[in-house]
Amino acid sequence: MGGILGDTVRNEEDYFWGRRTSTIDWCEENYAVSDYIAEFWNTLTNFVMMTMAILGICSSIRYGHGKRVTAMYAGLLVVSCGSALFHMTLKYTTQLLDELPMLYTCATALYALIEIDKDIKFGLRLPALLALFQAAVTLIYIFWIQNPAFHQAAFATTTIGTVFYAYKRFVVLDPCTETRRLLIKLRLLADIGMWGGFFLWNIDTIFCEKLRSYRSYVGVPLDAVLQLHGWWHILTAFGSTYNIIAVHIVRLAQHGLDKQFTVHYCMGVFPYVGKVHSTKSD
């Protein structure tokens, strides 16, 4: 998802993971906190998405909401784990584990929206078509166009399709007033997370040198507040989770189950879908 000039402040050969082989690097100074983690804060902030993904998986399995819903949350978990590994090592192989699962997770959400009914309409044709597109993008990205811009374009294409079908499902559904209000709230929170994160991601990329000088000036621990790529992780973790929860709720509304479920918050922070009248245990 974009990149900056490589970090030349330190000799990476002296640290645990050795020379960077990824095609992109980020604004956080490499190995500044730990000899074993290339980008400490960029790695740590991925645990926010991991937490919400695990909550989503547990919720989907507990209430039997289907493999498609579980797969969306599992995709988030894979993305967050891949991103953590990438920022920890700055290796090309782990970079792929960060970028490619984003495509697959978005494609899974698109499939869940198109095949929203319990009965499958398109059989194997739709998953085969989506899988073929993702496989083609994967092979081209690995063996031919190793440019992050290509990955971004492919991801944007899949995202546009997902947004289109999400809007289509929202319009044609006639859920109860509470559900419609909840979906509007989820979409708003998702947009705030995604666009807010995208804004900080650009600031981090464009003004990297200034941010590094500011971090050097304020010192530890206040420098962590200026790790804007880490804030991008946190905001997009919430944005992505709210997007998937919205798809989750739309599917429940399609099946007439939306009045039985709502969004709860673990520790008052991390959202997940649970029973309306369930007793909170978090």
Binding residue numbers for Ca(2+) = 25-26, 28, 30, 39
Binding residue numbers for Zn(2+) = 87, 229, 233
Q: Do 60 and 53 touch, CB atoms closer than 8 A? A: no
> Does residue 261 sit in helix, strand or coil?
strand
Q: Do 41 and 33 touch, CB atoms closer than 8 A? A: yes
DSSP state of 33: S
Give the DSSP letter string of 47-103: HHHHHHHHHHHHHHHHHT--HHHHHHHHHHHHHHHHHHHHHHH--HHHHHHHHHHHH
Q: How far apart are CA 258 and CA 250, in angstroms?
A: 8
> Does residue 270 sit in helix, strand or coil?
strand
Closest CA to 182 of 255, 249, 110: 249
Residues in Cβ contact with 126 at an 8 Å cutoff, skipping those fewer than 6 apart: 111, 114, 115
CA-only gyration radius of the chain, Å: 20
Binding residue numbers = 25-26, 28, 30, 39, 87, 229, 233
